[in-house]
Structure 1
């Protein structure tokens, strides 16, 4: 059994200190330092292969770092399991959907609400209609505009609606730090504005901190407070969107223009 993560006074939402990852002699992440303020919305950008998803994998516990540490809300979670991190308040979406496709839209969110209220993910212990978990699930589905699709199978709805459903699932949890890995990927252009508003609403409603990897730079820059730029496994800039776009190093390394 994993030991519980000890509580500590609240500080930054997330601190990554001297983080490094080597696999088979190759350096994947190197000397990453990142301090994310509680309640902020931070974008993570960089060329393909820069290490963005790998960084998320390390923070969420899917991959153990070679060096450095990860601190969530002033709790060292570097060696904590994925479930322990979730209990400590970390939630995540992935580039590909992690929903239960054979369950209904409502059942997907109701499971998350069930766990948050104090149950578990057992499919044999669904709460009955009208109870607290169901009420929470219906409320979150309405918040993302999917209330009318509660009875549809998750596997049958559009890609854009799947992304909205993932946000509804996060809303039903107690996550204080949310990692969104390319939430706009594959989403039809007409659905982007609604999804952006869902992300803003999630941050406002939960007061949570959001880290977001996204290739739609124009969308990202209008949404986030700060931007971390990754290049060859390290962070070369962390600043406001305006300052990042004006940074000569970023222009040279990421945007491909002369410094």
Structure 2
């Protein structure tokens, strides 16, 4: 599980940024996560003891939106103003007093990924932590410890860990699985800058072209490809007579 968790985090960070720029966030992240799930699941079938199974929660901030992908029992909270909200739901099953993950990366050949998309706001704070923390701190204590000095997020994580460990030890159980990470949105881009019509001077999108049509000094000779997302044409520059692909 430790190897699966480490590999999944490193691979997601590397592979997500390698996906084509024209894909939306959900498509890119889902493709990466499904590939990771297939790899971890195949590794689990080859080991005699243990398994390559891990929870994973990933937050992608793009433009003025947040995209959250989740499977397993890790926890993600959002602190917005005085509101402290859990954004993920636990994929666990209670059996005989023990809690077991009912969904996680590498557990099955196919994976069902929770996905949430929401508008981001300047000042939003996101807290990532582990299932073991449940039952230690109250929501009001999370807010108090974070707000005590939110300018230093590392120090805030240390305060959370120290308080959670003390609470766990006072109740007689271990705290070696505690982990905290905080992410804050300090600044957001101008929403208008994300509108392609604004960026490109309100140019209209041309209709589908046919052989013989002309556009910006180019004549369409043939349609090479037609998909739901794109068109590819063989064209000729009317001035230079040079043939190109558009």
Superposition TM-score, scaled by structure 1 size: 0.24
Determine which structure has the larger helix proportion and give its number.
Answer: 1
Structure number with greater CO (CA < 8 Å, separation at least 6) is 1
- The normalised TM-score by structure 2 is 0.25
Select the structure of larger CA radius of gyration.
Answer: 2
Structure with bigger strand share is: 2
